[in-house]
Amino acid sequence: MPSPAEAKPAPDAAPETKLRGWALVATPGAIGIGVGLLAWALSSGLHPNDQGYPRVLATVLVVLGAWNIVADLRSRSVDSEMDADYGQLAVGRVVSFVLLVAVCIWLVTPLGFYPAGGAVVLGGMAIMGVRKPLLLIGYPVVLLAAAYVLFSVLLRVPLPLARGF
Amino acid sequence: MLHNITSGLELLMQPGPLMWLVLGVIVGFLVGVLPGLSTSNTAALLLPFAITLPLENSLVLIVSIYAGAAFGGAVPAILFNVPGETGSAVTALDGYPMAKKGQAGLAIGIARMASVAGGVISGIVVLLLLQPLGTLSLKFGAREMFAIILLGLVVASTLMGGSARKGLMVGVFGLLLAIVGVSPGTAKTRFTFGELQLYDGIPFLAALIGTFAISEMLLLVGSEVAARRQREQEVKSGGLRKESRDAIAGVKATLAEPGAVARSSGIGILLGIIPGIGTSVANFLSYAAEKKRSKNPEEFGRGSHKGIIASEACDNAVASSSLIPTFTLGIPGSATMAVVLAAFYLQGIQPGPRVLETNSAEVYAVVLALIVASVLILPLGVLLAGPLASVTRLPMTLLVPTVLFLSMVGVYAIRNSIFDVGLALFFGVIGLLLRLNGYPVIPLILGLILGPLAEEYLLRSLELADGPSYFFGSVVVNILWAMLVAVLGGMAVMRFVKQRRERTPANQ
């Protein structure tokens, strides 16, 4: 599917959407610069023979990151339609989803894989707007039962059970 | 060569590989028809389970998904003007107008037969080319391999996605991440932050599933477009008899254009060999070439049979020929080929010049599997039209959490590590941020795969070198450096031309 940056909806976005657009557009370049600087800093603790290769890559990454930030911000300033693209992105929903998965990963050890996975499915459906109680309960139960038969019984993947089991 | 083909055929014609082949084509159809699931995502998702199978079975499964999806993506492209796969966007140009005229069945029939023809022709050419190209690549030493990896990474990074600078940054990011773990030079750990689970490097499959599958799902979670698209899209089947009639009509219409089939397959074969070109670029070029040659170019875009043939034959031809750089050089020709490459590594086999010596039967079995999978598109496409129609009704609200759950299971199953699941989520978020801004994620995976090899060949070359002149000491390596300079130069020229073109209307 096309990324929101590739789509072409209407211009004239709200100020908060514009701000979000500016922040999002600079993020990949900033990640490049951040990772490059971190790698450069960490490489000083390495054996002298190991320092050269990471430093060359880190330098290239920082340069490319800076180039991308400048170029992305410049292209964004001439293409205000991108604001509307970012306006279509349900940031809250994405952040909730990421937090949900992170919490469920943390819960795998005390609760076991299946209850934690079930929470991902149930919570994910709720975040995406499913409100029918029967579907919210029924689908995760059926999916987990099918997953248990497939992974634990047939494929014998040793998925962890709850602590004490 | 004949001996290798026979061994590959013997390996393939066993109940196990054949069963996985049929299953792969069916999964490929599903992937193609369902928006939000791409071939590479699904292959990455299935890889943790596929690698528990014998090597030939896991490879057959992945490549047959590729073949099935190449056709499957054409169905929603024709019916709703929504390509199920990026390569099918060109199919929609003529398929959708045909559907609007009430000829959807015929358009799908043509797409089906063109896919079969493109896949088979390309597969046969690959069978013939693999051995000579493999022998040629055997002559490459450490410096040539280093130059090839660099060239492959630069070509793939610059061509994948809309912008060369974005692709290059992501590629270098991948190379830097590949440094994590034990240094090949001093055997000391680097960038592991004391985390034992990183001593072997960043777990490749966690990164793969994170950047491909999880980031795609997160993008769907945040995008209203997907939900809207889902509501608009529902495939209806006309029953087995009608599907059979349409299939026969499609076969006849495709065979009536042998020139278009041959030319489009040829373009697909040629472009598929170049890593990173991808099906969308190849399909557009094939379509443009066919339109230029046509006596009635005005028919293109209004339901031309040749337009559908040009796209679909080329699409499946690219799928087969992208196996050549993957096997002979160890440089994946596409995102799905990156997963094939990963399957090799995870089974302890290093693809590249020597793979035709060490695992020739498996390699030829994979090429033959693509040919057989292409042929199977015809009967399976007809038989499964009904069940596929019901699958498209699966709402996105159920699909996304299910794929995320399966991603968690898949990542965990590789090393029984919760750390890996967390890492996959981290890569999912990184992939999401990159995708949102139009950055391609494939170079990240290429960097991760090719990084350790690049460093190893660089170190080996430095040990052999008596000065910088060593890196320019053979004709082959000089050609490769020249190609690298040409790619970078071409990129700069294209950027200059684009900027000038953008400025011109503003000045007028």
Q: Using DSSP, how many helices (H) and how many strands (E) does chain A show?
A: 6, 0
Look up tokens 């049929």; give the residue: B22
Predicted confidence at residue B280, as pLDDT, reads 67
Instruction: Note the pLDDT of residue A164.
Output: 60
CA distance B131 to B357: 10
Q: Looking at the domain assignment, is residue A4 inside a domain? A: no
Contact A157 B409 (CB under 8 A): yes
With a cut of 50, say whether residue A82 has pLDDT above it.
no
Interface of B with A in 103-162 (CB under 8 A): 162
pLDDT one-digit tens code per residue, B130-146: 888 877 777 788 888 88
pLDDT digits (tens, 9 = 90+) for B393-429: 677 788 888 888 888 888 888 788 899 999 999 999 9
Token digits of residue B37: 């699931």
Domain presence at residue B235: yes
Query: A101–B225: do the CB atoms touch at under 8 Å?
Result: no
Last residue of a domain, one of A65, A87, A109: A87
- Cβ within 8 Å, pair A61-B416: no
Q: Chain A within 8 Å of B173 (Cβ-Cβ)? A: yes
Q: Do B176 and A7 touch (CB under 8 A)?
A: no
Provide the 3-class DSSP secondary structure of residue B154: helix
A5 to chain B, closest Cα gap in Å: 6
Question: What local confidence, expressed as pLDDT, does residue A40 receive?
Answer: 92
Both tokens of B317, joined, read 């031809």
The model's confidence at residue A83, banded by pLDDT at 50, 70 and 90, is: very low
Last residue of a domain, one of A41, A58, A87: A87
- For the segment B107-136, what is each residue's pLDDT rounded down to a tens digit? 888 888 898 898 899 999 988 888 888 777
Are B398 and A35 an interchain contact pair (Cβ–Cβ within 8 Å)?
Answer: no
Residue A151 with chain B: CB contacts under 8 Å: 409, 413
Q: Looking at the predicted structure, is the pLDDT value of residue A55 above 90?
A: yes
Q: B402 touching A, CB under 8 A? A: yes
pLDDT digits (tens, 9 = 90+) for B265-299: 999 888 888 766 666 677 888 888 888 888 888 88
Q: Structurally, how many domains does chain A consist of?
A: 2
Rounded to an integer, what distance in angstroms lies between the CA atom of residue A160 and that of residue B359?
36
Residues A83 and A95 both lie in one domain: no
Inside any domain, residue A62: yes
Residue B495 lies in a domain: no
Q: Are residues A66 and A97 in the same domain?
A: no
- Beta carbons of A24 and A83 less than 8 angstroms apart: no
Nearest to B64 by CA among B12, B7, B128: B12
Instruction: Provide the chain A residues 84-103 that lie in CB contact (below 8 A) with chain B.
Output: 86, 88-91, 93-94, 97-98, 101-102
Dihedral angle, C-alpha B181, B187, B193, B194, nearest 10 °: 110
Query: A80 and A20 share a domain?
Result: yes
Exposure class string for B48-64: b at 16+ Cβ within 10 A, else e: bbbbebbbbbbbbbbbb
Q: Judge if A71 and A96 occupy the same domain.
A: no
Structure tokens at A23: 């922040």
For residue B223, the SS3 value is strand
Q: Is the dihedral of CA A48, A50, A51, A52 positive or negative?
A: positive
Q: Which residue does chain A place closest to B175, by CA atoms?
A: A57
Query: Does residue B502 form part of some domain?
Result: no
In this predicted complex, what is the ipTM?
Answer: 0.85
Mark the ranges of chain B whose per-residue pLDDT is less than 70.
34-38, 80-87, 159-162, 224-240, 243, 275-280, 333, 385-386, 388-393, 504-508
Task: Give the structural domain span for B169.
Answer: 2-473
Task: Identify the pLDDT of residue A10.
Answer: 41
Task: Using CA coordinates, name the residue in chain B closest to A37.
Answer: B176
In a domain, A5, yes or no: no
| CA B236/CA B130 separation, integer angstroms | 41
Q: Is the pLDDT of residue A85 over 60?
A: no
Residue B507 lies in a domain: no
**Contact at CB, A25 and B437, closer than 8 angstroms:** yes
Confidence of residue A122 (pLDDT cuts 50, 70, 90): very high
| Residue B77 forms part of a structural domain | yes
Q: What pLDDT is attached to residue A1?
A: 36
Asked if residues B173 and B5 have their Cβ atoms less than 8 Å apart, the reply is no
- Which of A78, A97, A152 to probe the B interface (max B CBs under 10 A)? A97
Q: Judge contact between B215 and B368, C-beta under 8 A.
A: no
Asked whether residue A24 is assigned to any structural domain, the reply reads: yes
The reply to whether A42 and A59 lie within a common domain is yes
Are A99 and A78 in a shared domain? no
Residue of chain B whose Cα is closest to the Cα of A25: B437
The tally of domains found in chain B comes to 1
Q: Give the domain extent around A98.
A: 91-154
Return the number of CB contacts < 8 Å for A and B.
185
Beta bridge partners of A40: none
Query: pLDDT per residue over A15-44, tens digit each?
Result: 555 666 677 788 899 999 999 999 999 988
